[in-house]
Amino acid sequence: FDDELAKAYGIAWVEDLFASADEDSRYTTDVEAFLGAQQEWMSNHLPKRGVIVEADTWGRAKLPPKAEPVYGKPGKSDHTAMFVDREGKVQTIHYRLPEPKKAKGKGEAAGGAAGEDGVALSRPRPDVTRKGIEMVGDYRTDALHEALARAPIEDDTLLALLVLAFAGRNISIASGASGDVYGYARMDRHAARLVGSEGKLAFDRETLQQAARGVLIDVLSCRENRTDSGIVARLAGDAIGAEGFLPNMGTDEFLSCLSRAALEGSCKDTPVLPRQKVKDTRAALVEHFKEEQFVHPSAQFAPDATKLASWLVKHEASEDDDLDERSGERDSSEPVDAPDEEAYGVAAE
């Protein structure tokens, strides 16, 4: 506050001889007069939406109930609180109050909102209710399934639809192509390549093949973790000759994982003879396979015949399954009934 306010409150300033040259060296021992002058100064300089509050025992402002301090730039609807801290300095803090809940008036309809003139405004009714939207979803799904089962589909389009299916929101894939085994594959990026600017499938054969390869890479995995695809990945690798892309396994890192019997079995068809010590046999094999490609039989893609037969028996479709699927299909010769208009009566009322 200024000298006039100090004079009005009878404050006598005393010079502090030990204060720094760049600081205000004045002080007073009349605490009540000083605090009174501070209060009047705050009253004269109170901004719009401002209030004077007290300080708590920790020297912080006592804000109104449910008020939240604003630490950034205050908005137009925010409030300002001014208070005197424990050192007698005027402090300012901005705070925000929650929006008050408007009580419904007698003339306001349930679910409506009051306008500026107090007239109740009813919320516009949607063209189709939630129940109607759910019915549309069922109709679309049944039609889609029937078309996929019976409509003529070209090979390229069928492959493109398979790519789209893997990008569905109801599909989650733990991909072995990512270093993070807990991450999920981003299948949308493959499907997006097949959709044109007009929102329809538009692609050339090369783009389709690249998208399909990308999907297969993200989906199929032989890793020994949660991304393991199981026997289908082994079948896929065997079908496309993936063994030709395996690295040389005749390294000390892999051979050290073999038992003595398996290590000596790897000497077959090589000039290397088993040594008395396992490490000597392993060192000789590592030296030999520096010039040749070695793939251990356990790394072959062809699945075990017994496991494959068990898998086929377990998942083989029976005649009963075929009958169950066909029982839900409509005969193409039967006329399609028009939708019942009464079904949409709820939305049209």
Confidence tier at 322 by pLDDT (50, 70, 90): low
Rounded Cα gap, residues 131 and 152, in angstroms: 32
pLDDT tens for each residue of 123-155: 677 888 888 888 888 888 888 888 888 999 899
pLDDT tens for each residue of 165-209: 888 877 787 888 766 545 566 788 888 999 998 899 889 999 999
pLDDT over threshold 80, residue 301: yes
Residue with tokens 């205050």: 74
Judged by average pLDDT, the poorest of 45-59, 151-165, 311-325 is: 311-325
Position 332, amino acid: S
Give pLDDT, residue 309.
Answer: 93
Judged by average pLDDT, the poorest of 69-73, 248-252, 258-262 is: 69-73
Position 40, amino acid: E
Percent of the chain with pLDDT over 70: 77
Rounded Cα gap, residues 214 and 218, in angstroms: 6
CA-nearest of 77, 69, 115 to 95 is 69
Confidence tier at 320 by pLDDT (50, 70, 90): low
Which helix H or strand E contains 41, and what residues bound it? helix 31-44
Give pLDDT, residue 285.
Answer: 92
Give pLDDT, residue 343.
Answer: 39
Q: Which sequence spans correspond to the domains of the chain?
A: 3-96
Which segment, 141-145, 224-228, 237-241, is predicted with the most confidence on average? 237-241
pLDDT over threshold 80, residue 339: no
Rounded Cα gap, residues 108 and 115, in angstroms: 10
Residue 294, Cβ density class (10 Å: 0-12 exposed, 13-18 middle, ≥19 buried)? buried
Q: Could you tell me the two tokens for 74?
A: 């205050």
Residue 178, Cβ density class (10 Å: 0-12 exposed, 13-18 middle, ≥19 buried)? middle
Judged by average pLDDT, the poorest of 119-123, 168-172, 249-253, 286-290 is: 119-123
Rounded Cα gap, residues 145 and 137, in angstroms: 12
How many Cβ atoms are within 10 Å of 234's Cβ, its own excluded? 20
- On average, the pLDDT of the chain sits at 78
Cα 204 to the center of its chain, rounded Å: 32
Mean pLDDT of 32-54: 82
Which helix H or strand E contains 261, and what residues bound it? helix 260-265
- Strands 50-52 and 79-84, by their bridges, are parallel
What are all long-range contacts of 19-27, with beta carbons under 8 Å and residues at least 24 apart?
A: none
* Global pTM exceeds 0.75: no
